[in-house]
């Protein structure tokens, strides 16, 4: 059914304006982005088809490519890029902006800095949060980007930015593309090596966080190193 044939209060635009954007279903939100349908499908029908493409539903969109979206008849370049742009905007809005000198008080603060970016990565990314002697942020550095399910981190590369920028302490963070943040044996071993090198350099390793999909684990809090 074409959207213009729906009762006015059920049309996504009118419903959004009268009841608020939070009242819209996932299909209705996506239909607003798609904007127009085709001769045979309404924007709502296209939205429903996009969400049905993968069993994860709307979560699938966060990692879909334009090419994948365009395999759906009626989704062309413009519609695909609008969907991708909306997903990216949502990710950026959800991400906390870090400024030099911001104080880090807890592992929750650290997770908030990294979660929205790293939870969607398809490969393991290893990063370092550099802190000054008062716990203020100096910078965030990407140490390495690994293969799909593994990252090789050499302590030499891990501490180069910290030494160059005279960091007093560092927090290491990496993601698990599987979405499960449970630390592996290799994660514990890597943490132990990094702590040992940090002690030699006089740069304290405060923690090592593993980021999953909406969850994280602090290896320091586990007390297993």
Averaged over 46-73, what is the pLDDT?
Answer: 85
Res 148: pLDDT: 55
Considering only the C-alpha atoms of the chain, give the largest distance between any 2 of them, rounded to a whole number of Å. 72
Three-state DSSP state, 190: helix
**144 vs 148, residue with greater confidence:** 144
Per-residue model confidence as pLDDT tens digits over 177-206:
989 999 999 999 999 999 999 999 999 999
Give the burial string for 111-120 (b: 16+ CB within 10 Å, else e): bbbbbbbbbb
Structure tokens at 209: 């966080």
**Angstrom distance (rounded) from CA 161 to CA 25:** 45
Model confidence, pTM: 0.65
Phi-psi region of 71 (alpha: psi -120 to 50; beta: other; left: phi over 0): alpha
Q: How many CB atoms lie within 10 A of CB 72?
A: 16
Q: Which residues contact 196 (CB under 8 A, 6 or more apart)?
A: none
Neighbours of 94 (CB within 10 A): 12
pLDDT in tens, 87-141: 888 777 766 566 666 777 788 888 888 888 888 788 899 999 999 998 899 999 9
What pLDDT is recorded for position 77? 92
CA atoms within 13 Å, Cβ hemisphere of 42: 15
**pLDDT score of 203:** 97
Distance CA 5, CA 43 (A): 12
Closest CA relative to residue 113, chosen from 135, 127, 97, 100: 97
3 state DSSP class of 44: helix
Structure tokens at 162: 């910290």
**9-27 pLDDT per residue, tens:** 557 788 888 888 888 888 8
Indicate the DSSP class of residue 136.
B
Mean predicted confidence (pLDDT) in 42-52: 89
What's the burial of 162, exposed, middle or buried (CB within 10 Å: 0-12/13-18/19+)? buried
């Amino acid at each position: 059914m074409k959207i213009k044939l729906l009762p006015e209060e059920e049309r996504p635009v009118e419903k959004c304006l009268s009841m608020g954007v939070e009242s819209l279903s996932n299909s209705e939100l996506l239909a607003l982005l798609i904007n127009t349908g085709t001769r045979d499908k309404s924007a709502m029908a296209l939205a429903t088809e996009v969400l049905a493409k993968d069993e994860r539903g709307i979560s699938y969109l966060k990692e879909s490519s334009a090419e994948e979206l365009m395999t759906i008849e009626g989704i062309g370049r413009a519609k695909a890029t609008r969907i991708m742009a909306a997903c990216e905007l949502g990710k950026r809005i959800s991400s906390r902006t870090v400024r030099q000198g911001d104080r880090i008080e807890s592992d929750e603060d650290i997770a908030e800095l990294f979660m929205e970016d790293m939870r969607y990565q398809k490969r393991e990314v290893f990063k370092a949060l550099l802190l000054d002697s008062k716990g203020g942020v100096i910078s965030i550095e990407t140490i390495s980007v690994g293969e799909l399910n593994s990252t090789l981190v050499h302590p030499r590369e891990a501490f180069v930015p910290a030494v160059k920028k005279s960091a007093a302490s560092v927090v290491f963070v990496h993601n698990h593309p599987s979405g499960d943040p449970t630390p592996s044996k290799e994660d514990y071993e890597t943490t132990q090596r990094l702590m040992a090198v940090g002690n030699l350099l006089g740069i304290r390793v405060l923690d090592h966080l593993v980021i999953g999909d909406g969850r994280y684990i602090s290896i320091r809090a586990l007390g297993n190193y």
